[in-house]
Chains A and B, each alone.
Chain A
Amino acid sequence: MSALSSGPPIVALRKVGKAFASGVVALDRFDFDVHPGEFVSVLGPSGCGKSTALRIIAGLSEPTAGTVAWSQGQGADAENSRGIGFVFQEPTLMPWATVAANVRLPLKLRGLIAKAQPRVDAALVRVGLSGFSGSYPRELSGGMKMRASIARALVTEPRLLLMDEPFAALDEITRFRLNNDLLALWQSLGKTVVFVTHSVFESVYLSQRIIIMTPRPGRVFAELAIEAPYPRDERFRTSADYAGYCRRVSEALTRATAEAGAA
């Protein structure tokens, strides 16, 4: 944990606000640091602005207040986007292209097509899809589509991986397997992961740190460290420790929701 907090944050959000033209205030004075190498979850009820926060980090949405500051070496906008991988809630694959072509897309858009093939192959191996490079998305199961989506996010070797409720639409068995595989990837690749979810259990299982948000307008309500050691597996999922963390996070989430309701 000490190694975590030592370095300067990769990206720091300060008093970030986002008000949409419709008058909806999605975020209000949202403060959030992402430290190098960490796995941090952003947890909150639907519509609390957690996806908006992720889109602001990705540069897909502009904040209407506050600042987003990147650490050295990530200053320029072009450099930012180069260092980010994004996994959407839906697999978001091009249905007309094969799995390999979908994973190749980020490299192709940057004109790196010449050296793409080995990187595409490596990314597919990492997510366990090496036998499916010639398949079309509709031929894959929901879990496999999501694996392809993760491979695409990893193919550019991003420093920061942003994941927007990626497993929300999957069944529990598939979600558990992808949770385990994601943790293994995170440990072997040393990426920084920001994981948005509305599942208490998922956030506790995966993260070192959980940011709990209040409902609209989204603000940080509490921050909890999950100090259980990695690698985490089914033993952790069934341990008393895990249950205890889940209870604490769940209670904090209830308080966050209640406070907003009272305000």
Chain B
Amino acid sequence: MSNRTSVSRDETHPRTDRILRVLLPLLMLALGMAIWELVVRLNDVPPYVLPAPSLVFATLIHDWGILSASLFVTLATTLEGFALAVVGGVGLALIFNQSRLIEYSLYPYAVILQVTPIVAIAPLLLIYLPQQAAVLACAWIVAFFPVLANTTLGLNSIDHNLADLFRLYGASRVQVLWQLKVPAALPYILGGLKIAGGLSLIGAVVAEIAAGSAGAGSGLAYRIAESGYRLNIPRMFAALLLLSIAGIVIFFTLSLISHLLLRRWHESAVVREI
């Protein structure tokens, strides 16, 4: 009986399957929103307790001027932090790979930076750095470690026979690095980037929250904190919605880049026909 079920699962038309994968989550979203809207309206819940989805959308449109400017600030910080994390993480991993002594000297501190909660570091950074630099530093600290760890793993995961082959033909260190280690590490690096993209957004938000009303910041997280003090709950939800969408867009962009780079050769990107 269960056997028959699994067969019919496999026989589902791939296009139908793809449509279902997009359609079903959207359906669930619509259902959730409808229930939310109904609960708020039927119980007359005041907007400062829980705003209805319709009010959140209205706020999003009405406050678009302020919110879009804040979105731009947060996105800029996130992208800068992400870019620095990629350069720093990949660069440091390459240096570690070339020199064991440097790796032994610095790697523990990279781990310490990673395991110390960023929420606890952010206030200190805000004391010693200008606010914009502190926010950027937070985004970088959170995002660079997954890039470093994944790249290191990738650079060490080379096929030993291929390494022997390079040795047989007298390859230089530089040739081994760029023609063997880096391509072999690429899937790992891209995996690290996918994690780092989301984390740099989190880092930026944490720093903005820590800076809070004291700072002159104008990012989305600052808007959330500010709206909270003013009990402008609909705007908090609108800003939160924008943050989620930003995170989703970052994730899918990085997934797409990864797919385009790996689709010809890596197992993870290959669609198998059963």
Chain A residues within CB distance 8 Å of chain B: 55, 58-60, 78, 81, 84, 86, 88, 90, 92, 94-97, 105-106, 108-110, 136-138, 156
Contact = CB atoms under 8 A, between A and B. Distances in A.
B186 interface: yes
B165 A59 contact: no
Interface in B251-274: 264-267, 270
27 contacts: A55-B164, A58-B168, A86-B164, A88-B161, A88-B165, A92-B161, A92-B162, A92-B165, A94-B183, A95-B266, A96-B183, A96-B186, A96-B264, A96-B266, A97-B183, A97-B265, A105-B169, A105-B179, A106-B169, A108-B179, A109-B170, A109-B171, A109-B175, A109-B179, A136-B265, A138-B265, A156-B169
Contact of B169 (A94, A109, A137, A138): A109
B267 A60 contact: no
A59 B169 contact: no
Interface of B: 159, 161-162, 164-171, 175, 179-180, 183-184, 186, 264-267, 270
Contacts of A137: 265
Contact of B170 (A78, A90, A105): A78
A89 to B, nearest CB: 8
Contacts of A60: 164, 167-168
B264 A136 contact: yes
A156 B170 CA distance: 13
Nearest to B183: A96
B258 to A, nearest CB: 14
Contacts of A96: 183-184, 186, 264-266
A92 B159 CA distance: 8
Contacts of B170: 78, 81, 109-110
- The 8 closest A-B CB pairs, nearest first, are A92-B161, A109-B169, A96-B183, A88-B161, A109-B171, A106-B169, A136-B265, A95-B265
B45 to A, nearest CB: 56
Residue from the set A88, A105, A109 with the largest chain B CB neighbour count within 10 Å: A109
A109 B166 contact: yes
B98 to A, nearest CB: 19
A110 to B, nearest CB: 6
Contacts of A86: 164-165, 168
Contacts of A84: 168
Nearest to A107: B169
A60 B179 CA distance: 19
Contacts of B169: 81, 105-106, 109-110, 156
B168 A81 contact: yes
A109 B166 CA distance: 8
Nearest to B176: A109
A74 to B, nearest CB: 15
A90 B184 CA distance: 17
B270 A138 contact: yes
B168 A94 contact: no
Residue from the set B168, B170, B175, B270 with the largest chain A CB neighbour count within 10 Å: B168
Contacts of A58: 168
Contacts of B265: 95-97, 136-138
Nearest to A61: B164
A84 B167 CA distance: 12
A158 to B, nearest CB: 10
Contacts of B168: 58-60, 81, 84, 86
A98 to B, nearest CB: 9
A90 B162 CA distance: 10
A190 B159 CA distance: 31
Nearest to B159: A92
Contact of B161 (A90, A97, A110, A136): A90
A108 B165 CA distance: 13
A199 to B, nearest CB: 21
Contacts of B165: 86, 88, 92, 105
Residue from the set A59, A86, A94, A108 with the largest chain B CB neighbour count within 10 Å: A94
Contacts of A138: 265, 267, 270
